[in-house]
Amino acid sequence: MRVLVTGGAGFIGSHLVDALMESGSEVRVLDDLSAGSLDNIKRWLNHERFEFIKGDMRDAETVKDAVEGVEAVFHLAANPEVRIGSQSPELLYETNVLITYNLLNAIRDSNVEYLVFTSSSTVYGDADIIPTPEDYAPLEPISVYGGAKLAAEALISGYAHTFDFKALIFRLANIIGERSNHGVIYDFINKLRRNPEELEILGDGTQRKSYLHVSDTVEGMLHIFEHFKGENKAVDFYNLGNEDWITVKEIAEIVSEEMGLNPAFRFTGGVDGGRGWKGDVKFMRLSIERAKETGWKPRLDSYGAVRRTVRELLSANQSGE
């Protein structure tokens, strides 16, 4: 299969590229390297089945050139930082909604058969039903990031039905693992390196969410994509997450333990009832029953994913990566 991966030098994207290359696909990556790194995909740079394009998806012509000749597009390019929405909503619009619009217009004029999009659990907002199923409504994001992801979902659905290609949308829980360069575990490690005696924790520490290791994420995406190709649906949605969840305080304890430290925890108290920041969903756990019906399930639970991620990030730092 000839595939384009947008954001393929990023955290999740590079792991997906690894899996696609290992499966024998021809892979083209489009990435502006604002959040990603060539180091993440360096093993493929000179491979005959691999092509890298450095380009900004806000430029429509760049996107149009990138989709030429591919059968499927895995659209992972996005600004991954949820918190930035309160400071720079226009940036989240450009790097989530506008780039998706440009991609859809390019796909409309191409021979692309499939679009796979990584959306987010943030589209559900503060869900009344937990674990939250894909058909939960109304979707009411409480962050600009979640709103941008939902807007992208809506555009994808409209274009797929109108211009006759198939779209698979994944709503992801918190994805963690090797090569991640943002998020709570990454932040905790860096804070403890600066001050091993004290760890600042945003919010009240009771925030409880589901975490999925990137290895399980990529396996789930590719497994369900194969299943989706056999379905007679223009658009379909799948949650990818874990069946358990873990508190921020418990994550802090695991990070401290793995680093051999015993810091004092200092909770900021947070906003809006103990949230880490404005727009932070305090409790999130997705129903993954539909994904499991296809034959996929995560190998690591949230606790195992957190502990493995801490070890991976610490090991990468020690080796100078």
- pLDDT, tens digit (0-9, with 9 covering 90-100), for 268-287: 998 999 999 889 999 999 99
Per-position b or e across 186-195, b if 16+ CB within 10 A of its CB: bebbebbeee
Range of weakest confidence among 139-148, 172-181, 270-279: 270-279
Q: What's the number of CA atoms in the CB half-sphere (13 Å) around residue 251?
A: 28
161 three-state secondary structure: helix
Mean pLDDT computed over 246-257 = 98
Question: How many CB atoms lie under 10 A from the CB of residue 66?
Answer: 23
pLDDT at 309 over 80: yes
In this structure, the answer to whether residues 153 and 108 fall within a common structural domain is yes
Domain-embedded: residue 290: no
pLDDT at 12 over 80: yes
What pLDDT was estimated at residue 48?
A: 98
What pLDDT was estimated at residue 256?
A: 98
Range of weakest confidence among 12-16, 57-61, 251-255, 278-282: 278-282
In this structure, the answer to whether residues 123 and 260 fall within a common structural domain is no
In this structure, the answer to whether residues 199 and 224 fall within a common structural domain is no
* Cα–Cα nearest to 234, from 319, 132, 166: 166
User: So which residues are the catalytic ones?
Assistant: 145
Label residue 317 by pLDDT band (50, 70, 90): confident
Q: How many angstroms separate the CA atoms of 13 and 21, rounded?
A: 12
In this structure, the answer to whether residues 53 and 118 fall within a common structural domain is yes
In this structure, the answer to whether residues 148 and 277 fall within a common structural domain is no
- pLDDT, tens digit (0-9, with 9 covering 90-100), for 30-56: 999 999 999 999 999 999 999 999 999
154 three-state secondary structure: helix
Q: What's the number of CA atoms in the CB half-sphere (13 Å) around residue 25?
A: 22
Mean pLDDT computed over 66-84 = 88
Mean pLDDT computed over 111-129 = 98
Q: How many angstroms separate the CA atoms of 305 and 253, rounded?
A: 14
Q: Domain limits at 305?
A: 178-209+244-284+299-318
* Cα–Cα nearest to 264, from 319, 192, 211: 192
pLDDT at 321 over 70: no
In this structure, the answer to whether residues 77 and 190 fall within a common structural domain is no
In this structure, the answer to whether residues 136 and 40 fall within a common structural domain is yes
Q: How far is C-alpha 252 from the chain's CA centre? A: 22
Label residue 295 by pLDDT band (50, 70, 90): very high
* Paired tokens of 75: 């659209």
In this structure, the answer to whether residues 123 and 186 fall within a common structural domain is no
Categorise residue 5: left if φ over 0, alpha if ψ from -120 to 50, beta otherwise.
beta
* Cα–Cα nearest to 317, from 165, 149, 193: 193
What pLDDT was estimated at residue 86?
A: 58
- pLDDT, tens digit (0-9, with 9 covering 90-100), for 191-240: 999 999 999 999 999 999 999 999 999 999 999 999 999 999 999 999 99
Q: What percent of the chain has pLDDT over 90?
A: 92
Question: Using CB atoms within 10 A of its CB, is residue 320 exposed (0-12), middle (13-18) or buried (19+)?
Answer: exposed
In this structure, the answer to whether residues 33 and 159 fall within a common structural domain is yes
pLDDT at 80 over 90: no
What pLDDT was estimated at residue 85?
A: 46
CB 154 within 8 A of CB 138: no
pLDDT at 116 over 80: yes
What pLDDT was estimated at residue 318?
A: 67
In this structure, the answer to whether residues 35 and 113 fall within a common structural domain is yes
Q: How many angstroms separate the CA atoms of 242 and 173, rounded?
A: 8
* Cα–Cα nearest to 254, from 312, 215, 204: 312
Domain-embedded: residue 164: yes
Task: Using only the alpha carbons of the chain, give its radius of gyration.
Answer: 19
